[in-house]
């Protein structure tokens, strides 16, 4: 992992991205890293656009806002349209093909996974799409050691849903390993 990771999780309010960002931040703390998590607040967190940022660094983090994302997750079309133009080459871009229909420009090497539809089909629960996404993101970017998440997921997931959320997280890893729908997934990344 590079010294500093700036992760942006974006989508619609209600998709659970803020919880996912807090889990990522907790996991980074358990991994002895410095971390700052922030999010968009207000009515937007309930239905409109939702954005959460997590900065992970081995150094002390001063400026707490994401400036140059190294990882961008887009869980809906609006956030994809809004945040894609902000990134620089080298940023890992992951989108949920359930909601994001492109265009997937060549230069961004967008990785496309059927995140929400997989949650619905495989686990019969759309609500855990956020954990699936977190699994994909961590698999793709290697932010925090995978085994650290289990404790965090069981601590922060709604009571009684730890196992389901862990399954979703693991399913995210499987999705990633299966590869991007656009052919820019694991194989493409390995060739970078």
Partner 1 sequence: MPETKPVLMQGNEACAEGAISAGVRFYAGYPITPSTEIAERMAARLPGLGGVFIQMEDEIASMAAVIGASIGGKRTLTATSGPGFSLKQENIGYAVMAEIPCVIVNVQRMGPSTGVPTAPSQGDVMQARWGTHGDHPIIVFSPASVYETYYLTIAAVNLSQKLRQPVILLLDEVIGHMREKVFIPEDSKLMVEKASDKVPADYKPYDEKGLTPLVPFGFGHYYHVTGLFHDQYGFPTGDPLQVERAQDRIHAKLDKYRDEVVLTNYIGHKEPRVVIVTYGCTVRSARAVIKKAYWQNRQPVGLLSLQTLWPFPAKEIETLAKQADVILVPEMNMGQILGEVERHVKGEAEVIPINRYDGEMISPDQISEKMGRWLS
Binding site for partner 1 (CB under 8 A): 22, 25-26, 28-29, 32-42, 44, 61-65, 67
User: CB-side exposure of 40: number of CA atoms within 13 Å?
Assistant: 19
Tell me, what DSSP letter sits at residue 112? E
Cis-peptide, bond into residue 103, ω within 30° of zero: yes
Cβ 113 to partner 1 shortest distance, Å = 27
Q: How far is the CB of 44 from partner 1 (least distance, A)?
A: 8
- Cβ distance to partner 1 smaller for residue 3 or 190: 3
d(CA 182, CA 96): 12
CB of 174 to partner 1, least distance (A): 28
Q: Long-range contact list for 40-48, CB < 8 A, 24+ apart?
A: 44/13, 45/13, 45/18, 46/13, 46/14, 47/12, 47/13, 47/14, 48/12, 48/13
User: By C-beta, is 37 or 138 nearer to partner 1?
Assistant: 37
Minimum gap (Å) between residue 119 Cβ and partner 1: 25
Q: How far is the CB of 167 from partner 1 (least distance, A)?
A: 24
* Under 8 Å between Cβ of 37 and 23: no
Closest to partner 1 by CB, 29 or 188? 29
- In terms of CB distance, is 116 or 138 closer to partner 1? 138
């Amino acid at each position: 992992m590079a010294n500093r990771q700036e992760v942006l999780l974006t989508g619609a309010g209600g998709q659970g991205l803020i919880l996912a960002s807090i889990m990522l931040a907790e996991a980074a703390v358990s991994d002895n890293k410095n971390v700052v998590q922030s999010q968009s607040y207000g009515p937007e967190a309930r239905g409109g656009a939702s954005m959460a940022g997590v900065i992970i660094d081995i150094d002390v983090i001063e400026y707490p806002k994401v400036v140059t994302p190294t990882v961008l997750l887009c869980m809906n079309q609006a956030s994809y349209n809004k945040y894609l133009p902000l990134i620089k080459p080298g940023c890992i871009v992951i989108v949920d093909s359930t909601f994001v229909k492109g265009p997937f420009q060549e230069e961004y090497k967008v990785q496309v996974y059927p995140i929400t539809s997989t949650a619905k089909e495989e686990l019969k629960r759309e609500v855990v799409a956020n954990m699936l996404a977190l699994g994909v993101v961590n698999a793709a970017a290697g932010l925090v050691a995978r085994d650290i998440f289990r404790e965090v997921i069981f601590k922060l997931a709604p009571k009684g849903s730890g196992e389901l959320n862990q399954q979703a997280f693991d399913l995210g890893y499987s999705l990633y390993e299966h590869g991007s729908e656009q052919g820019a997934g694991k194989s493409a990344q390995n060739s970078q």
